[in-house]
Structure 1
């Protein structure tokens, strides 16, 4: 075999190998696990009634009945949907969770995250960036109002229409609505602090 033939053979063998090694790595998704449930909750796209230990995949929409409680646990934390709530699981990555709360009340418990890890809670009007935090959120899509109250850590709230930001710390709350121009924190009300005590029950 002459040198030209050998060169051609090496090229033929190398090209597929280079393609394989240079191919971009697809980002792996993870699932959320139903870690606690009382009452009825449904996975809308799957058309199923949820039970403990069920896996919720990315892009699923979850709804809770009026008196239900549902905990969804990911690799980064736990989100509790209280009765009459709806959430869309927008993105579930090993280092990033993006959950849309369309309506209702939620409680969030997140351990201290690494620099490259993040959880974002998206509502119709704001995005809450979460890190090592325990907080409660309420979303009323009909009149575009809502409230976030923080029990532990801090939450940065960014309003979508004008990118106004406010940092809400432990023991504080912020009210949201179309008539509110400046985002201002206030002391969390006794009822809000009391509602967040059930976070201790969450995994």
Structure 2
């Protein structure tokens, strides 16, 4: 198996509060929530019970009943507390049907009104569920990588890894199990078609819609704090950085490149950039200084190795 090395560029958030309390709850106790990342192009969110569309931003939390809409040449990734992710392609509309439970037993339902989505769902526990509904079908997932495309009167499901059980929206008793490399379609008021093999070229194109590199990059997050946030001449400030994977501290050494905005410099390098290896907990602490009084922004990049 080949290992592909890629660079993930993330903008660190300059927070006055320490990082230790940021993820103070254990994985099992974290509530099931959905957060936007990888926003590209024009993406809008309409909160439940409102008519106003607001521009989507990275790290924006969306709740049950909220609707996410993408325009042409646009896309967004929705991350869930258990590490599952859904990428919404261009010209697609999806409503967060329900979010309940905790990360360990999350129950998630997404209503795809139109357009194409790709779902990478982590293996679920016995009490967890992850369903994607289209106007004509329902897909039940327990750990897989697949795409769904909702058109006016037919939905198409391509399964790349794992298995998806697809049923008719009109009659849920009519269902088929779709295995890896297979496709089914569901027309309005019809039973799902018998699964067929996805043509190799179409499967490769489908997989690339939410690539391993894109998924891995979205899995990681870098949190940065600067204290005090406003750095004054002649005084030092402490920059703390922590790498997270699926919302949990990444307990490994990580090679990072950090770049400061404005006039600030790292004391160790004497410049605004530095390469640093975190400790075994995925965190590092550095001293910075400045010749002028200003708030400091931080860009961070890390190298990720992806199995291919």
Structure 2 CA distance, aligned partners of 1:165 and 1:193? 26
1:1-203 paired onto structure 2 within 5 Å? 30-45=32-47, 47-76=53-82, 77-93=84-100, 94=102, 95-141=106-152, 144-163=153-172, 164-178=174-188, 183-189=193-199, 190-197=201-208, 198-200=210-212, 201-202=214-215, 203=219
Unpaired runs of 5+ residues, structure 2, are: 1-29, 220-308
Structure 2 CA distance, aligned partners of 1:181 and 1:127? 11
Structure 2 CA distance, aligned partners of 1:130 and 1:36? 23
Could you report, residue by residue, the CA deviation over 1:95-143 in whole angstroms, capped at 9, with x for unpaired residues?
A: 10011000000000011111111100011111100111000110002xx
Structure 1 CA distance, aligned partners of 2:166 and 2:141? 9
Structure with bigger RCO (C-alpha 8 Å, 6+ apart)? 2
- Report the secondary structure of 1:194's partner residue: helix
Structure 2 CA distance, aligned partners of 1:132 and 1:103? 23
- Report the secondary structure of 1:58's partner residue: coil
Whether the 8 Å contact between 1:165 and 1:183 is mirrored in structure 2 is no
Higher strand share: 2
Structure 2 CA distance, aligned partners of 1:34 and 1:139? 21
Unpaired runs of 5+ residues, structure 1, are: 1-27
- Report the secondary structure of 1:192's partner residue: helix
The alignment's TM-score, normalised by the length of structure 2, stands at: 0.54
The alignment's TM-score, normalised by the length of structure 1, stands at: 0.80
Query: Measured at CA, do residues 31 and 150 of structure 1 come closer, stay the same or move farther in structure 2, by a change above 3 Å?
Result: same
Higher helix share: 1
Q: CA RMSD in A?
A: 1.8
Shift of 1:44: 1.8
Number of residue equivalences = 174
